Amino acid sequence: MMNILITSISAKVQLVQAFKDAVRPYGGLIVGTDMDPKCCAAHFVDMFEALPRDDNPAYKKRLLEICKTHKIRLIIPTRDAELEALVDIKADLAALGTALPLPDSEALHTCLDKRLFHSFCVAEGYPVLPVVDPQMENNFPLFVRAINTANGKEAYEVPNMVAWNHLGLDRSHYICQPLCTDNEYSCDILLDLDGMPLQAVVRHRQRLVNGESWRSEIVDMPRLEAMTLEICQKLGLKGHNLAQAFVGAAGDIHLIEINPRFGGCSNLSIAGGLASPVRLVEMVRGETEEAARKRPITIGLQSNRYSMDIYTNTGNSAAGINT
């Protein structure tokens, strides 16, 4: 049986459904985990299991119990903060026959720490914006981000030194770079379980809401595709990964970060032909040639995100019914 566990499912309904479609031909089931048993995606998985926080000592033991109970063949992580805890039990998962498409701890740490990733890119000759000193007035305006990707939503546009001093940030926890107004792109990158690059799809992030892409469009950018595939291979990444980059009008690229997991808008790349869920299932089943086959990509396919409510009856009879 081809059962898959997706962690931190939260509201990732489309990702859950994509994996359900991928395992359906093999009679597989999707098990979802989250700290919140009432999260939206819990209504769409075949089975739901509550997990404690990833920094809770019981987290690893509980996750292994779930994998053993449900005969999990593949884990799909979706949140940066849990990745290190998962890598710590990678050998235990392998002993259960559970694949975890994550790199070793050193490579993972490089991806999670924006300063380390910046240093890696500089050392390997990949283009990135410079890191600058916020104590020098001529370096403003700045874009300031938390160095830990797990807190990546903590970001600021800082126009001048007065604003920087007003924020009162501990510089050791942040990376400061020149504010860039170039278009921002995401690249979904698929590698096999041994870290061999297979295919990448670039998305133009056309409308952002709180750092998340609410409107994206698949574009043809072979140079960015090739660059991110190469970087992921050098880092030793596996499975589905996500890169972010600025690209100027003249085609100049500045890499921002790489996250070793699915992104919030990776569903567009999946629907556009990358088909990562289907291909990851093929990898685990040993169908390596089919998984490696390059898929046609629908250039120009656009996604527009919107919110949707789910209504559930809590079973609280004391609430009564108004007539």
118 part of a folded domain: no
Residue after which a domain boundary falls, among 44, 78, 100 = 100
312 part of a folded domain: no
- Clarify whether residues 190 and 276 are in a common domain: yes
Give the structural domain span for 290: 108-113+181-304
- Category of 189 on φ-ψ map: left (φ > 0), alpha (ψ -120 to 50) or beta: beta
- Clarify whether residues 189 and 164 are in a common domain: no
- Clarify whether residues 17 and 37 are in a common domain: yes
- Clarify whether residues 185 and 233 are in a common domain: yes
Taking all residues of the chain, what is their mean pLDDT, rounded to a whole number? 93
Tokens, residue 91: 């050998």
- Clarify whether residues 223 and 261 are in a common domain: yes
Q: What is the CATH number of the domain that holds 253?
A: 3.30.470.20
At residue 42, the 3 state secondary structure works out as helix
309 part of a folded domain: no
pLDDT of 317 reads: 56
Q: How many CB atoms lie within 10 A of CB 30?
A: 27
More confident residue, 16 or 317: 16
319 part of a folded domain: no
User: Is the pLDDT score of 320 beyond 60?
Assistant: no
Q: What is the CATH number of the domain that holds 46?
A: 3.40.50.20
The predicted-structure confidence for 40-54, as pLDDT tens digits, reads as follows: 999 999 999 999 999
314 part of a folded domain: no
Residues 302-310 have a mean pLDDT of 88
How many domains are contained in the chain?
Answer: 3
14 part of a folded domain: yes
Strand partners, 174: 146
- Clarify whether residues 216 and 145 are in a common domain: no
User: Is the pLDDT score of 158 beyond 60?
Assistant: yes
Nearest to 267 by CA among 23, 99, 17: 17
The predicted-structure confidence for 264-297, as pLDDT tens digits, reads as follows: 889 999 999 999 999 999 999 999 999 999 999 9
The predicted-structure confidence for 201-211, as pLDDT tens digits, reads as follows: 999 998 877 66
- Clarify whether residues 87 and 27 are in a common domain: yes
pLDDT of 207 reads: 82
- Clarify whether residues 194 and 295 are in a common domain: yes
159 part of a folded domain: yes
User: Is the pLDDT score of 116 beyond 60?
Assistant: yes
- Clarify whether residues 139 and 249 are in a common domain: no
pLDDT of 151 reads: 57
318 part of a folded domain: no
More confident residue, 322 or 254: 254
Beta strands in the chain (DSSP E): 3-6, 30-34, 47-50, 72-76, 142-146, 155-158, 174-178, 183-191, 197-209, 212-219, 240-247, 253-259, 302-304
